[in-house]
Amino acid sequence: MAQTLAPIRCAVLTGGGDCPGMNAFIRAVVRATLNLSPESTVYGVLDGWKGLVYNEYRPLGKRDVSGIAMLGGTILGTVRFPELATSQQLQERAARNLEEQGFDYLFVIGGNGSVKAAWALEQILRREGWRTRILVAPGSIDNDVCNNYGTSIGFYSALERSLEMLSWIRDTASSHRRVYLIRSMGRDSAYLAFYAGIIGGAEYAIRPHEEVDYERLAEVVAQRDRDTIIVVSEAYAKSLREIQQTLEDIFRRRGIEREIRAVDMSYFQRGGKASVTDILRASWLGYRMVCDALRGCSSGFYTAYYIGHLQDPLPLELAADDARTNHLDIPPEVIQMALALR
């Protein structure tokens, strides 16, 4: 294998919302590249796609990524840059920068927006005959990136934070015989809220576009001895206050004596150290991508199932098509399992 590895000049970028596991990915790209091909060079793109447009980089060596694998966030930074999605001029500029910097490969970890940005740049690069290839890994706590083909890096870390917070809240809920409505992140995807509900033993998890039977939900509360936890998806149409008011009206009418409190745990879910699962999967994907790059592979999206998984990368065109690669609601069999465990 070593005889076939020519030096490459590459960059690594963390895009969209930060998530635990991004630093493990950065570390894997840097270490694998420099250990497998010592003459290669690696640069970090600062502040995500904005840094690529404005040519902001820093060289990365093996010492620069020491001890970062478990850290949350991203040492390179990531700034929301929605203008890139609609500006052909900015897309052209970013693609030209890759060519002028002489990058053979751009390694990306990010969410849906990053996949679409990568595909937009890929089309320009191929049209112009420029050298850079783009390799993308899924990074999002929402698990809404090509989830027909695995789960996103950061998802399991966010679930661990959720479990911790739900356990704290249940202590107080049980002490005071309260109902707690708890808002979860997840954007339009039901996954984070629903899976947090399962692992945290919630009595109910409201999905983004669900038509909730509040009378039935009140019955669930009435059957509980001391506490009730209801997790609410970020994209659900009603606010926590509106849900609280609806339930309180039903409680008064039906004589159910329960206090209701509302808590938003959203930004706590994003932070904190990466889970073991996310560190291992991010490390594996980074290593795999580097190995493929050193063999001269084409652009592609790498799916995240488990360490050691070797499925062929998806074409970026397919990965960027949400209708074909992504689903936002929970499979019916998983919903039935959750109801059976309630």
Successive 10-residue mean pLDDT values, the chain, 342 residues: 73 96 98 96 98 97 97 95 94 98 98 96 98 97 92 96 94 90 95 96 95 95 90 96 97 94 93 95 97 97 88 94 90 92 84
Q: Give the bridge partners for 14, in sequence order.
A: 109
CB atoms within 10 A of CB 176: 14
pLDDT for the residue 1: 43
Query: How far is residue 193's CA from residue 328's CA, in Å, rounded to a whole number?
Result: 12
Query: How far is residue 182's CA from residue 170's CA, in Å, rounded to a whole number?
Result: 11
Structure tokens at 152: 């996103």
Domains of the chain and any CATH numbers: 2-154+274-325 (3.40.50.450), 157-270 (3.40.50.460)
φ and ψ of 307, to 5 deg: -65, 130
pLDDT for the residue 328: 87
CA angle 193/277/161 to nearest 5° reads 40
pLDDT for the residue 209: 92
Q: Are strands 228-232 and 9-14 parallel, antiparallel or unpaired?
A: unpaired
DSSP for residue 7: -
Q: Is 170 helix (H, G, I), strand (E, B) or coil?
A: helix
First to last CA, the chain: 52
119-131 burial: b if 16+ Cβ within 10 Å, else e: bbbbebbeeeebe
Report yes or no on whether pTM surpasses 0.85. Answer: yes
Active site residues: 142
